[in-house]
Amino acid sequence: MESQKLLQESGKRIVISPTSSRFILLFISALHLLALALLFFIDLNVYLLLILAAMIMLNLYQALLYINSIHHCLSLLPGELMYCRIKGGSWQQVDVIESFVTNRLIVLRLKTLRHSKLQSFVYAFDSLNEYSFRQLRLHLNHYCAES
């Protein structure tokens, strides 16, 4: 896992490249299995139940494809703005609009300063190494709380 690197052009910025989280994948899969199990208790036509089951499985498939297709990096330096690069594009300055930070989960809502585009990212404890997860938590709790 290459979660921490140094950007040559930016000095000692920490670059965070998350991997897919097994925790989030397990959580989404469990919710879909629960929805399938609830279909057994619904009194509907068999064909409607099969259509609902197929829709749930299709939604699970699309969710897994979406989670595995997102590739992005965050770059941060304490006391400065964060940068984000999505799918190998250029680095863009981002402003943290909202953040939810716990010991096991980080949810970020970012806005690019150039295009005012909104992005949302969810990081579980297993998608980053310990150092990167800790640095991101510290940055969000300390520096983003001040602004």
Tens digits of pLDDT across the chain (147 residues): 333 343 444 457 788 888 888 888 899 999 999 999 999 898 889 999 999 999 999 999 998 888 777 788 888 877 777 888 888 788 888 888 888 889 889 898 988 888 888 888 888 888 888 888 888 888 888 766 555
- Residue 26 bridge partners (DSSP): none
pLDDT at 147: 55
* Dist. CA 56–CA 77, nearest whole Å: 42
What would you measure as the largest C-alpha separation in the chain, in angstroms?
A: 64
Q: What is the Cα 107 distance to its own chain's centre?
A: 7
If you search the block for the tokens 């000095």, which residue do you land on? Answer: 11
- DSSP β-ladder status, 92-101 and 82-86: antiparallel
* Dist. CA 85–CA 126, nearest whole Å: 21
At position 73, the amino acid (one-letter code) is: C
Length of the chain equals 147
User: Quick check: 113 and 95 in contact, CB under 8 A?
Assistant: yes
pLDDT at 86: 81
